[in-house]
Chains A and B, each alone.
Chain A
Amino acid sequence: MKNNSINDFGVIRFRWWIILSTLVLVLSAASGARFLGFSTDYRVFFSEDNPQLVAFETLQNTYTKNDNVMFAVEPKDGKVFTPQTLAIVEELTQASWKIPYSLRVDSITNFQYTWSEGDDLVVQDLIENAESFTQEQLKKVQAVALAEPLLRNRLITQKSDITGINVTINLPHKSISETPEVVAFVRDMQEKFEKKYPSIKIYLTGVVFMDNAFNEAGEGDMKSLVPVMYSIVLIIMALTLRTFWGTFVTVLIMAFSILTGMGLAGWSGILLTPISANAPTIILTLAVADSIHILVTFFYEMRHGKSKYEAIQETLRVNHQPVFITSVTTAIGFLSLNFSDSPPFRDLGNIVAMGVMAAYVYSVLFLPAMLSILPVRVKAGSTSQNGFIDALGDWVIHNRKSLFWGMMSLIIILASQIPRIEIDEKFNEYFDTRYQFRVDNDYVEKHLTGFESIEYSLKAGESGGISNPEYLKKVDAFAEWYRQQPGVMYVSTLTDTMKRLNKNMHGDDESYYRLPDERDLSAQYLLLYELSLPFGLDLNNQINIDKSSTRFTAILESVSTQSALDLEDSAQEWLRNNAPPGMASHGASPLIMFSHIAMRNIDSMMTGTLLALLLISAILAGVLKSFKLGLISTIPNLVPVFMTFGIWAVFVGHIGLAVSVVAPVALGIIVDDTVHFLSKYRRARQELGKTPEEAVRYSFHTVGTALFLTSVILVCGFFVLTFSGFQMNVHLGLMTTIAILCALVADFLFLPTLLMRSSNPVPLREAELKI
């Protein structure tokens, strides 16, 4: 009896206690899930001290926020300037002031049109009571709108076939229900207007809708992908293990691990994002691997005539250590995501690490305890399925030389492709067309105006300095330069307003459509203009309170992150060469933030990966009690990472934010194969005194099937992520899938040849004694 309790950790004796306490543990952890919510703010992708986020927040705090909702109104007859359509735009503009958290509404109808009449400066809505407009009036307002740099290519197209209403939204960010509240309100408006006026179609875009798409993507993935994954795992288990109760307990363990991981996430106050919402799928995939290893051995022992209790004891004896090690190494891989600059990835890493460790505990305690009370049976004489794997092992041993060199060349060729990878992605393509946001945004971008922007806070260097003619000229030249850059659709700058005012002040004489020559004149024009503006349409969104800096906004068509950074680089160069030193400021916007973060993340993840690799190799060396095996283990651990990025370089070519975190994640998972293979190899060499060839054969025989099976399940698990509508998840899933396949190839075809080359042909125990 004493022997029993050592071998099985008292699992059989305390089985009821184990089952009970597992249930209590799961329930208390899972109750934290009630605190879980989906983040509805794209800013969660950035840490609080991210320099680009800080720059953007500073800009927004200096002026106003610029989160927005954009309506694009398309009349079906293709003519915006008709009394009917303009009246609808007027009504929609009015109604938009009622949108929750709205700060400002801009449209062609409420555009503040200025003109002079004798000594009067007239400031009024460009379009009011359009219903009664004559043809002449329509022509006139159309001409004004199309000539206005503040409207053209932003709120009205050159062809006048579609018009925009831009609503600035100022979310207090106190509750995660703010974004859905705005979205629901705006969609309701859209529905009502389209119903009331069948002559128009309304498209919706803007930062608020993007925020909401992040929220929908996370929730959607969790609802659709997790059940798919569950079914796939069930089918594979049913087909391979052919055991009802084994499958049943595995399903329980998967559920418990997910509940524990997600529940603890809830307790620790993590907000879910489309990235961290992958945690259940990944935990499920990883948890099942532990169970499989244990079940495969258990049924193997039972088939070979052992009693249930004996089989449990033997299973635990053989598997406890590898399962523990693989769980720890996987957890290390995921924990190294904490090096990421982007909090959602840290959350993902931490949730999965908690889930994986929970899966380990449940697999070595709850699983055997359940097996001991369930009526598990195996059909007598059912044959082992190792035929194929054994044959593979023999083939590898026979062809080891050509395999070694063949694999070496393949690895080198693939690795040599890695430098071709470019860090580049399109922000716009994060969401695929199953999201209305993407569909509408694509349409608006093609037909009206861009979604992306780069903003600058251009400093004049002194209080009131924005009226300085020198400053205004520089800003104007910067705008001119910007408008000529590829991909730039629209530039908003105060200088256009200044020119217009100067013209108005000189009896609307076109030749005065230029910047005023004197500083006090500009300042006084501005004062006059400011005193004439209506509620919500003041200049506070483009001039700071001290009148020492102005906001400069460029709207871009959908550009890749790399071209955004290139554009910003050239802008910086222009400012360096042409503007006074104090004026230069870095561009800030969500686009710039997302463009930088991939780069920053890759740097930080390199450190993370390296550290994880060192830690994992050290653990392996310690566990295998061999420095040499620890060192050798780094090769099959790293090789799949190189192969994966090589394959990616050939077939995809560019990587973004999500892919930058694949390396440590993949490392943590693929290392499991190496652990299982090496631990069996070492056992064969040291305990059983086998030669390298025999040890390889033994490893294939004992662990090959389980490795193959777990790899299939892991591949399925991560491949399911590629069905996500969120591109980061697609890439994360696809790349990890490739990595797992490469790991299987490396562990079956390369590691054995390496072991046989580097080991003494004599049994290891004697070899080590000689040293």
Chain B
Amino acid sequence: MKFIITLFTSLLLFAGLAFAETPEEKGLAIAKEDDKRDNGFEDFTANLVMLLKNRQGEESARNIRNKTLEVEGDGDKSISIFDRPRDVKGTALLNFTHKVGTDDQWLFLPALKRVKRISSANKSGSFMGSEFAYEDVTSQEVEKYSYKWIRDEDYEGQKCFVFERYPVYKNSGYTRQVVWLDQKDYKILKIEFYDRKNAQLKTLKQSKFKQYLDKYWFPEEMHMKNHQTGKSTLLTWTNYKFKNGLKDKDFNKNSLKRAR
């Protein structure tokens, strides 16, 4: 009898452990769900303006056109064509993101009429002098982080999951990011970035979300504020177009040269 009780208790305990979700599991589940909801758009094009501001109040703008192709089983492929500043007009960046390992990047320099591969394992620096790091703008694959759910809370009137994610990438500039994701549409409303000494470095706020293809929510404005340097960058996305029939062959070194 005693044996049976012990067995029964252990079984109950085991079951409890198996069914109760740890914060890590819950965080991962949220990220997976988010990723799933973003899948299937096939491709999109959009225009992008980056407005940089420094502490002195100076401003500077960069204009970029973007094409993105969804890749089954790996990270997205994209081409960014720089229109402004004038000196880099026609420069185009081809980008293959990968779920694991370093992304591949090529840059076409019209002044040199050549494509150069960017061979750097350590691409966490500023993107075009802005407050966005390359790792902030590249496609966010589930595998790039580990996760931990923290709490649920209301943020600007929307019920949110608040979870932390920790970069797997060893050269990342961050120890962790705290993400506010709304529970209804899985829109990322806010991310706080913590640097290597775990001090808050930046805050990203995304706003003016629009729904495309009755499914995908994309923000029109992404505002990144650097708390340490006082600089900030506003990204404004316009002219989103989906399912343009882009193919893999539109995203290689040769197509990069032709991208105008």
**Is the pairing of A and B real?**
yes
Q: Is B115 an interface residue (CB 8 A)?
A: yes
Q: Is A769 an interface residue (CB 8 A)?
A: no
* B59:A532 contact, CB within 8 angstroms: no
User: Which of A28-36, A520-528, A560-568 is the interface stretch?
Assistant: A520-528
* A543:B129 contact, CB within 8 angstroms: yes
Instruction: Given A98-B197, A531-B123, A545-B129, check contact A120 B116 (CB 8 Å).
Output: yes
Chain A nearest Cβ from B238, distance in angstroms: 22
Q: Is A318 an interface residue (CB 8 A)?
A: no
Q: Which of A400-446 contact B (CB under 8 A)?
A: none
Instruction: Given A531-B127, A543-B129, check contact A99 B197 (CB 8 Å).
Output: yes
* A533:B125 contact, CB within 8 angstroms: yes
* A531:B129 contact, CB within 8 angstroms: no
- Bound CA span A531–B111, Å: 17
* A123:B119 contact, CB within 8 angstroms: yes
Selected from B89, B114, B171, B229, the residue in CB contact (under 8 A) with A535 is: B171
User: Which of B49-57, B66-74, B144-152, B241-249 is the interface stretch?
Assistant: B49-57
Selected from B52, B91, B115, the residue in CB contact (under 8 A) with A545 is: B52
- Bound CA span A532–B127, Å: 9
- Bound CA span A392–B122, Å: 84
Q: Chain A residues with Cβ under 8 A from B89's Cβ? A: 520
Q: Is A62 an interface residue (CB 8 A)?
A: yes
- Bound CA span A524–B114, Å: 11
Nearest chain A residue, comparing its CB with the CB of B87: A523
Q: Chain B residues with Cβ under 8 A from A64's Cβ? A: 229
Selected from B55, B56, B59, B116, the residue in CB contact (under 8 A) with A528 is: B116
Q: Is B118 an interface residue (CB 8 A)?
A: yes
Selected from A103, A120, A122, A521, the residue in CB contact (under 8 A) with B111 is: A521
Chain B nearest Cβ from A137, distance in angstroms: 18
* B119:A535 contact, CB within 8 angstroms: no
Q: Chain B residues with Cβ under 8 A from A102's Cβ? A: 197
Selected from B85, B119, B228, the residue in CB contact (under 8 A) with A170 is: B228
Q: Chain A residues with Cβ under 8 A from B121's Cβ? A: 124
User: Which of B11-19, B32-40, B102-110, B214-222 is the interface stretch?
Assistant: B102-110
Q: Chain B residues with Cβ under 8 A from A544's Cβ? A: 54, 58, 60
* A524:B91 contact, CB within 8 angstroms: yes
* B229:A170 contact, CB within 8 angstroms: yes
Interface size class on chain B is 35 or more
Q: Which of A53-83 contact B (CB under 8 A)?
A: 58, 61-62, 64-65
Q: Which of A439-459 contact B (CB under 8 A)?
A: none
Per the CB 8 Å criterion, the residue count for chain A at the interface is: 52
Q: Which of A276-297 contact B (CB under 8 A)?
A: none
Nearest chain A residue, comparing its CB with the CB of B253: A119
Q: Is A463 an interface residue (CB 8 A)?
A: yes
- Bound CA span A314–B224, Å: 77
- Bound CA span A547–B228, Å: 21
- Bound CA span A68–B199, Å: 18
- Bound CA span A393–B116, Å: 94
Q: Is A188 an interface residue (CB 8 A)?
A: no
Q: Chain B residues with Cβ under 8 A from A531's Cβ? A: 93, 105, 107, 118, 123, 125, 127-128, 134
Selected from A101, A120, A527, A540, the residue in CB contact (under 8 A) with B91 is: A527
Nearest chain B residue, comparing its CB with the CB of A505: B112
Q: Chain A residues with Cβ under 8 A from B112's Cβ? A: 505, 521, 524
Q: Chain A residues with Cβ under 8 A from B258's Cβ? A: none
Chain B nearest Cβ from A245, distance in angstroms: 59
Q: Is A180 an interface residue (CB 8 A)?
A: no
- Bound CA span A523–B56, Å: 23
Selected from A98, A122, A536, A545, the residue in CB contact (under 8 A) with B53 is: A545
Instruction: Given A103-B229, A524-B87, check contact A547 B60 (CB 8 Å).
Output: yes
Q: Which of B196-238 contact A (CB under 8 A)?
A: 196-197, 199, 228-231
Q: Chain A residues with Cβ under 8 A from B115's Cβ? A: 119
* A62:B107 contact, CB within 8 angstroms: no
Q: Chain B residues with Cβ under 8 A from A545's Cβ? A: 52-54, 58-60, 129, 231
Q: Is A530 an interface residue (CB 8 A)?
A: yes
- Bound CA span A100–B200, Å: 11
Q: Is B88 an interface residue (CB 8 A)?
A: yes
Q: Chain B residues with Cβ under 8 A from A61's Cβ? A: 54-56, 230
* B125:A121 contact, CB within 8 angstroms: no
Instruction: Given A61-B55, A524-B88, A527-B128, check contact A100 B120 (CB 8 Å).
Output: no
Q: Is B29 an interface residue (CB 8 A)?
A: no
Q: Chain B residues with Cβ under 8 A from A546's Cβ? A: 52, 58-60
Chain B nearest Cβ from A505, distance in angstroms: 7
Q: Is A600 an interface residue (CB 8 A)?
A: no
Nearest chain A residue, comparing its CB with the CB of B134: A531
Q: Is A194 an interface residue (CB 8 A)?
A: no
Instruction: Given A528-B107, A528-B109, A547-B85, check contact A534 B125 (CB 8 Å).
Output: yes
Q: Is A390 an interface residue (CB 8 A)?
A: no
Chain B nearest Cβ from A517, distance in angstroms: 10
Q: Is A766 an interface residue (CB 8 A)?
A: no
- Bound CA span A469–B151, Å: 55
Nearest chain B residue, comparing its CB with the CB of A123: B120
Chain B nearest Cβ from A479, distance in angstroms: 22
Q: Chain B residues with Cβ under 8 A from A124's Cβ? A: 119-122
Chain B nearest Cβ from A195, distance in angstroms: 22
What are 30 A-B residue pairs whose CB atoms fall within 8 Å in the complex? Answer: A58-B56, A61-B54, A61-B56, A62-B56, A97-B195, A99-B197, A121-B116, A121-B118, A122-B120, A123-B118, A519-B87, A520-B88, A523-B85, A523-B88, A524-B91, A524-B110, A525-B109, A527-B107, A530-B125, A531-B105, A531-B125, A532-B123, A533-B126, A534-B123, A534-B124, A534-B125, A535-B124, A535-B171, A536-B125, A537-B125
User: Given A121-B117, A520-B88, A545-B60, 19 other A-B contacts at CB below 8 A?
Assistant: A61-B230, A65-B229, A100-B197, A101-B228, A103-B228, A119-B116, A170-B228, A172-B228, A505-B116, A527-B128, A532-B125, A534-B124, A535-B133, A535-B172, A536-B125, A538-B126, A539-B129, A546-B52, A546-B60
Interface residues of A (CB under 8 A from B): 58, 61-62, 64-65, 97-103, 117, 119-125, 170, 172, 463-464, 467, 505, 518-525, 527-528, 530-540, 543-547
Identify the 10 closest CB pairs spanning chains A and B, nearest first: A535-B173, A523-B87, A533-B125, A535-B124, A534-B122, A546-B60, A61-B55, A61-B56, A538-B126, A521-B111
Interface residues of B (CB under 8 A from A): 52-56, 58-60, 82, 85-89, 91, 93, 105, 107, 109-112, 114-129, 133-134, 171-173, 195-197, 199, 228-231
